[in-house]
Structure 1
């Protein structure tokens, strides 16, 4: 398969908002793929190459000075082979070796092919070809029921392997995919609601549990062998020995547990999210210990529980992991749910999860059976720059650089603005068009990738909080920022300060 076919299909998918059109385009591409091309193809389409971590970042990919090819000659196998080379590089001289490999690849690629590959390697394709769309495309290309493909993907935890099985195997092969202790599965996901009361209206009787500001973990145990996996199914077993010891001591032989972990301070309160995540960034244990809270049980001693109602799974979870269970209550009472939410927030947690008591575990899906409720914070910030979009946003000013006011110059010039994050979330086509037309009127300078503005435009941004970050001078970054709307009624003096945002950090 020519790599240009992959790029052209990705551009076609990005250019349409029709889910059916996206599925048709991807299915046509998948049908053309040879068996050995299916894994690398799905990895690139999901901006998650099959090789995993390649040791390359934005600077290394964008700083190359090469002349691109004028005609397409690269195959998908060429790309996959170069990525294999990058993945194999290690030790002394690795940076130079990676740069050399990237340089040769960039020179053979056309400008459009290189642009696609850079975005795929950085996880920034934004074509709308998310896993759900690709799953339906796999089902269509293989002429298999969508439900069978989705279940196989959920239980195998590997969309590429599912595509290979669906496209080259039999219907029976696909249906035989099941839970296997030691093979992580895609986690069940939650929708959102504005309040516990609103969530209960959707779920009926529910388990209302604390929503921690921690890291999702899935833990597998077979005898004395324990594996711990992150939300993205990365294996972090060696980095969390305390969790391994806890699960190894539970009264069962085979287990698959779903939960969260975070670190606690000396008073028993949650430490900042980054301190928890830092434990996943090294191969050795750190000073800060992690504590797990389990909220679901998918398998116990030869018995799969994912199709059982939550009430049954919670009963087994209490039996197996009682003292390590997530705090919560089972109720229909909105007042009781609201009270638990207030208690969780007062303890420093994010909010609550409301889970229908009769719901099965639908791995990898975001339905209405699990509902998360977190307070939404809004701040008035200033637009400092906007990056040119890619994919279907090509030609529009999209990703915003956001700044908070620094009245006393604590982090820069007095009365200036300190960058606190970026976002492209919440931008409608109408807003993108307005930004592209309006921002040049406020332009201070520009580069090939962005337009930098005089600090004159105030925008209302919703966030879930902030986290410590060395990237920005103020030492913080916004979490899950999204645009609510521009505020022409507000002046720069009305913008929120860096100090007010820093106050959200837990001390």
Structure 2
């Protein structure tokens, strides 16, 4: 199948802002390829998401913007500095690629039409290339594509590499389009996606039959998105609204999803990053604590000192560590609290949390290193037990408590009222850095203030909310400045625009209306608490979350 057919669909989708129209375009396209192979449907579904690997995979292309610039420079004879200046001005490497290829005066007489298979295979090959001369090998694979591409094809090849497709298609739109294209109820498609975390697999199954879609389920080795919690308005209010709930301690660590497949144990963060190599003792502890069966369990890894929890930032040092792991193991000891089981010999994620908790207690052999989360089953008759657990959790250095509807199944990637979190201070938001200002005086070489944004889940864009400068010590100021260099899109005197990539947790005293920021609101007395390397861009707080916070603030 020719790549230009998909590019034509990209252009049609990007030309409208109407979600239903986007859905219709995708559905019609999927209908036209029903007769194609399952592999084609799988690849098309991935490419419509701007991906070449499924979300559960930890594979990455490892192709930087600089390598794209180098490829274009080599092919077109354009100065790399000139391309970099264009990028600083335009901000979209895809548009720049289209413009440069359009202006190419060199004629290629033996262009071979690009196929979807060729594009995705070349890009996938970059992941496995390592060692000396690896950059040149990756360069040649990209050049091979650009050399045969039309300007429009080149634009979307670049956007796929940079994972910024810019056509305004979210997962919900694709779920609806697959449902429409194959005549299968949306709830069935949505369930299959939640449990498989692979829309490509869902689409190929839908191409086969409704029964094949229903067979999709959670599988050890393929991490799924974590179920997410809403904010609790208060202990009593939450319990009275939910009825009977599992109330458990909320730990200040890294949430992990642990998979055992055969003899292998893999540990994934909530961003679905494989951190197994960084946490060898957790692998050892889990192997001792659970039976020799296939399973998927969830827990929270915390850093300790004298067997007491210490700051979240210490666990980040462990998770991000690639070298000297054994040395860090001695310096920052870890333990894990388990709180859920999603698979044990068979899928159990759709069973109520009450049953899953009972199963967890049956299969886990606890120790000083592996414990179950401290919990109580409470209702409106014994709210005091929840308040007692909250006070105990805070006194012992933990974050707060969780409420889980005792009858609720696990809903991957969903944020609903079946799971709530309650902390003593709830005024924090996870925002992405989209801009910044250089400091003054001693801080003139550093970014002294950051422009922070929230996700508009309706459009997929980031809306500015606040400038934050306080809360950073000199060490954080310097390290964050170094880190942000790679994400600079443009610079205008003191003002810098960044590619959304780094997330900060920001504390504040109050949300106020503001015409200065795109969100329509801003934060009073913002203070940067920490870098959130444990979450991804799809988990940045949203404008909907902001409105929820406003409602809580006003009640």
TM over 0.5: yes
Out of 262, 272, 280, the residue aligned to residue 241 of structure 1 is 280
1:252 aligns with 2:291: yes
In the other structure, the counterpart of 2:185 is 145
Aligned-CA RMSD value: 4.5
Structure 2 matches for 1:395-410, cutoff 5 A? 400-403=434-437, 409-410=441-442
Pick one of 135, 146, 153 that aligns with 1:95: 135
Per-residue Cα deviation, 1:459-484 (whole angstroms, up to 9, x for no partner): 46799999958653398975257997
Q: 1:30 to 1:402 in 2, by over 3 A?
A: same
| Corresponding residue SS for 1:139 | helix
Deviations 1:402-432 (A, max 9, x none): 34866xx44327xx96144653635999x99
The SS at the match of 2:443 is: coil
SS in 2 for 1:68: helix
Q: Tell me the distance in 2 between the aligned counterparts of 1:62 and 1:194.
A: 50
2:44 counterpart residue number: 41
Is the 2:282–2:336 Cα contact (8 Å) retained in structure 1? Answer: yes
Match for residue 473 of structure 1? 481
For structure 2, the residue ranges without an aligned partner over 5 or more in a row are 77-99, 105-110, 485-501, 518-522, 533-555
1:27 positional shift: 1.6
1:211 and 2:250 are equivalent in the alignment: yes
Matched residue, 1:311: 354
What whole-Å deviation, never above 9, does each CA across 1:93-139 have from its counterpart, x for those lacking one? 11122233334434544454444333333333354423233222222
**Is residue 435 of structure 2 the alignment partner of residue 411 of structure 1?**
no
**Does structure 1 residue 321 correspond to structure 2 residue 364?**
yes
Aligned residues: 453
Per the normalisation by structure 1, the TM-score is 0.72
- The answer (yes or no) to whether the contact 1:276–1:290 under 8 Å persists in 2 is no
Q: Which runs of 5+ in 1 are unaligned?
A: 382-397, 436-457, 490-494
Q: How does 1:375-414 map to 2 (within 5 A)?
A: 375=425, 377=427, 400-403=434-437, 409-412=441-444
**Who is 1:452 aligned against?**
none
Contact kept in structure 2, 1:461 and 1:485, CA below 8 Å: no
Q: Could you tell me how far 1:90 is from its partner in structure 2? A: 1.9
Residue in 2 that maps onto 1:269 = 309
Q: Distance in 2 between matches of 1:215 and 1:343?
A: 21
SS of 1:177 mapped into structure 2: coil
Cα distance 1:172–1:211, how it changes in 2: closer, same or farther (>3 A)? same
2:340 pairs with one of 289, 296, 303: 296
Going from structure 1 to structure 2, the CA distance change for 1:222 and 1:14 (only over 3 Å counts) comes to same
Equivalent residue of 1:473, what SS?
helix
Q: Name the CA shift for 1:233/1:469 in 2 (closer, same or farther; >3 Å).
A: farther
Residues 461/197 of structure 1: CA separation in 2 closer, same or farther (3 Å cut): farther
> In the alignment, which residue of structure 2 is the partner of 1:356?
405
Render the CA deviation track for 1:438-463: whole Å, top value 9, x for unaligned.
Answer: xxxxxxxxxxxxxxxxxxxx946799
Aligned in 2, Cα 1:219/1:459: closer, same or farther, shift over 3 Å?
Answer: closer
Residue 77 of structure 1 and its aligned partner are, at CA, apart by 2.4
| Correspondence for 2:418 among 343, 349, 369 | 369
